[in-house]
Structure 1
Amino acid sequence: MSNYLKHMAGYKQSQLKNKSFAKIQKLFDKAMTWVNMFVDMDTELVKESSKKAEAEMAQESSSKRAGEELEQEVAKKRKMEDDKEKEDLKQCFEIVQDDEVAIDAIPPATKPAPIFDREDLENLWKLVKAKHGYTMPEEAYERVLWGDLKVMFEPHIEDAVWRNLQGHKVKLWRLYDSCGVHFVRFNNMHIYMLVEKKYYLTLPTITDMLNKKMQADYWNEMCYQLLKLMTKQLKK
């Protein structure tokens, strides 16, 4: 027992020296109890535990794959829906170059130059507002410019242009993507609007615009987003 305790349980000779047989027996029994509690890697208990762990890992991996597949399926379905929506909205669009637009469709004095960008328009509105404030100018050209820019940047439901929409048919709907502005020409009036803003257009006017079709130099994301905004307003 002493040899076993020294070689297997790690006791030193000095620890066992002068101990009685009963005490050595007690230490030996304690060491054997510890040995008997040890489970060999080949036992059924360990094998069962290992199998359970592998099954849990496999289930977790399977759930992860299922989640990734679901995300891919949702993304694929969303893309298909977006593609279909774009194709549907293209029915309200036509490619027309600037030189193809009828000469009398847009008065030269009110047609925005394609080289304008948004910053140019914003700076122009700041200058006009600094000069005239919210008081309509008396001079004809300045009055037209002031009215166009005010409606474009700071539309208000009380503006006369919205009250006069009823009964007017759309002659032209044109997008100028260089400055992010779309233009609607009626029989005897016109409106300039920023592509990202919602304006006080009547539902019949929006319907007429979509039926007339929006003109642009080419199809792009701005065309899609503007048509999407218009159809969304129509549904509401």
Structure 2
Amino acid sequence: MMIIVSEQGMNVEALQTKYPIINWEIYTKGARKYWKIIRVGNYTEVYQFFNDMLKAFGREDLVKLWSLVKEKFTSTEPTKDKEREIWVELKIHHVSTKDGVDIYLLVERKYPLSRGVLTQMLVAKLLVEQDNEISRKLLRKIFMQVERPRR
């Protein structure tokens, strides 16, 4: 049996689509400076604070932004304050192992890591470009989870 429903009675919501990041730039409005994140289809977002940007990002976004920033600053030095800030912050939130395994640390998100992944992280000997609080927290979390008794 089929029922015909008029258009007015239908509630259609578009699926939210998150487009991949294709570029970034420094955006200035008055005296304030922002990071302008450009996505496919010319969708843009602006962020003044790095933590706000990370809260809106997923892993894929962080990986892509890191690759774009790294590509730009491997041949040049960051000159503007916002350029330096994104370079330093992304380096802090990206950790590599000797074997080339990349780990991206997202703010206020906890992803459960299996005992096997944690052990692999310890065996691979994490390399950190800077000794900082985030890297120490990551190492502390790894040790705590590995040492936790199995259920």
Same fold by TM-score, threshold 0.5 exceeded? Answer: no
Pick the TM interval, shorter chain. 0.3 to 0.5
**Structure with greater proportional helix content:** 1
Larger RCO: 1 or 2 (CA < 8 Å, sep 6+): 1
Structure exhibiting the larger radius of gyration computed from Cα positions: 1
TM-score normalized with structure 2 length: 0.35
- Specify which structure has the higher proportion of strand: 2
How high is the TM-score relative to the length of structure 1? 0.24
